[in-house]
Amino acid sequence: MVDRGGKKNAFAVMENQFQQESFEPTKDIKQAWDAVYKALRAEFGEAVFRSWLKPLALQAFYHGTMEISVPTRFMRDWIQSHYAARLLELTRAQNQTIERVEIVVVPQSSAIEDETPAPTQVTKSNMNVMAEKMDLLSPLDPRFKLETFVVGKSNALAHAAARRIVESQTMPFNPLFIYGGVGLGKTHLMHAIAWAMREKHPEKMVVYLSAEKFMYQFVKALRGGEAMAFKEIFRSVDVLMLDDIQFISGKDSTQEEFFHTFNALIDQNKQIIISADKAPSDLQGIDERLRSRLAWGLVADIQPSTYELRLGILQAKRALSGMDVPDAVLEFLALKIISNIRELEGALNRLLAHADVTRQAITLETTQEVLQDLLRANDRRVTIDEIQRHVAEHYNIKLSDMHSARRCRNVARPRQVAMYLAKQLTCRSLPEIGRKFGGRDHTTVMHAVRKVDELVGEDPSFAQDVDVLRRALTG
Ligand code: ADP
Ligand code: MG
């Protein structure tokens, strides 16, 4: 062993002298800092103060430099980028001899006085504990695995993308953005990826949660003065999965927070997986910067299901249930219940429960009886063709004008009404509706929907017209 004892001692003495001679802030500096600390609290408000500024402490002063300490590196970076400029201004206003403010990291072992020891260094395991304590994770459904996800034409792309992410050693694309209508399997696929990732990479911190929860917990953290911990946790995950991101549209501060998290993770080469009910470009109320970033990686849609897929899913569920359901019944359900997979599953479950309780065999007859209401609702589902026909008749224009390029008011207005009703009464996306109206752009449909909404609010007789049409169509 090399003996460095002597040297070490010499250093210690030197450090000591330094501290005593020139590092210790004078009374003036201390007073200035106290005033600045108060000013920060008044200026940024209690919530920000508690989240970010409270732990700031005067550390040292030398040669015009005031050193302010914070407990973590992350916090130093955050203060540096968000508050440093203002901090300097306030400081200089108090005392002209202060020329610079430096933020330094001084881990505080006694900073947090509760049962968890204060993490001086952020480690994966204490992050996980913190994430759980702050309730930042959504539970994963054990039924939603890759093995139980039935693949068909409508969801093949999204499924292949999920597999790639799970199986690949490197990151094939980032972010992965999965979108599709309600009940088509987005959440199932997200959970399946999370399960597989956790299994394959137990050392990685895989965080799955709904955007709703993200927002709720973010707001809660802000209020409770825990925004720091919140940010720190989300910026240190390895895989971030956010379900139903459309939920944060219009919620500006949540979006802003997510945007920063998103960028920080992408910069560190961490995988992000997002789901939504629409394509990035169709997400209204989401900031343009964020929307374009969401589309940076792979965008995979889940289309409305096909008959084959619905039948495949029913067959898989039947096998799982171990119950006896005739093929004819499954085929009948796959044909009739086209709204979404969730409803299809619900129908089969009801049938199984009924058979279980009544001890009757499942037949086509019992199926029709037990599922009466559901079947009727699915029968009633309106198609865009029907809407166009009805609206054209109502306004006395030609059906072909629904597709034509003519723009005169007495044709254009009914066409807008039809687009509006198509948006309201069918599960078709804006681009799909646009296509059905002579290949128009989705923005045209969006404009039509807004315009009709506006007119409905302004003109009672117009509103009544629209209402009559809606009733006729939905029976
Ligand atoms: P979304 O999140 O798109 O609204 P979910 O993922 O919650 O839809 O799916 C609704 C239900 O349908 C779930 O019970 C899910 O397991 C089932 N489901 C959807 N797609 C499939 C599929 N391809 N294979 C098996 N089950 C599916
Ligand atoms: Mg979902």
Rounded to an integer, the average pLDDT of 301-308 is 90
Q: Give residues (CB < 6 A) around ligand 1.
A: 144, 148-150, 155, 180, 182-188, 313, 341-342, 345
Q: Do 151 and 290 fall within a single domain?
A: yes
- Secondary structure class of 298 (helix, strand, coil): strand
- Whether 137 is in a domain gets the answer no
| Mean pLDDT of the residues in the chain | 86
Cα of 187 vs centre of ligand 2, distance in Å, is 4
The last residue of one of the domains, among 379, 411, 436, is: 379
What tens digit of pLDDT does each residue of 136-194 get?
888 899 999 999 999 999 999 999 999 999 999 888 999 999 999 999 999 999 999 99
Range of weakest confidence among 152-156, 211-215, 425-429: 425-429
pTM of the model: 0.64
H or E element that contains 30: helix 27-48
Q: Which of 188, 321, 427 to mutate to test the pocket of ligand 1 (most atoms within 8 A of CB)?
A: 188
Last residue of a domain, one of 333, 351, 379: 379
149 CA distance to ligand 2 middle (Å): 14
Same domain, 163 and 297: yes
Question: Which ligand neighbours the alpha carbon of 191 most closely?
Answer: 1
Query: How far is it, in rounded angstroms, from Cα 303 to Cα 340?
Result: 10
Smallest-distance ligand from the CA of 146: 1
Domain count, the chain: 4
**Residue 133 pLDDT:** 80
Judgement on whether residues 297 and 312 belong to the same structural domain of the protein: no
Task: Report which of residues 210 and 12 the model is more confident about.
Answer: 210
Residue nearest to atom 9 of ligand 1 (CA): 185
For 138, the token pair is 């959504």
Residues 410 and 326 in one domain: no
Residue 414 contacts residue 463 (beta carbons within 8 Å): no
Q: Please determine, for residue 119, whether its predicted confidence score (pLDDT) is greater than 50.
A: no
How far, in Å, is the centroid of ligand 1 from the Cα of 149?
Answer: 8
Q: Which ligand is nearest to the CA of 349?
A: 1
Kindly state the average pLDDT of the residues 20-36.
82
Band (pLDDT 50/70/90 cuts) for residue 109 is low
Together in a domain, 297 and 311: no
Name which residue sits closest to atom 4 of ligand 1, judged by CA. 183
pLDDT of residue 128: 74
Q: What is the pLDDT of residues 46-86, one digit of tens each?
A: 877 877 788 899 988 888 889 998 877 777 877 887 788 88
Distance, CA 342 to ligand 2 centroid (Å)? 10
SS3 content of the chain, % helix, strand, coil (to 5): 60, 10, 30
> Closest residue (by CA) to atom 25 of ligand 1?
149
The enclosing domain of 293 has a CATH number of 3.40.50.300
Q: What one-character-per-residue DSSP string does 411-467 give?
A: HHHHHHHHHHHHHHHS---HHHHHHHTTS--HHHHHHHHHHHHHHHHH-HHHHHHHH
Q: Are residues 398 and 422 in the same domain?
A: yes
49 touches 9 (CB < 8 A): no
Each residue of 436-469: pLDDT tens digit? Answer: 999 999 999 999 999 999 999 899 899 989 988 9
Assign residue 359 the CATH number of its domain: 1.10.8.60
Residue 244, domain extent: 146-302
Inform me whether the pLDDT recorded for 342 exceeds 80.
Answer: yes
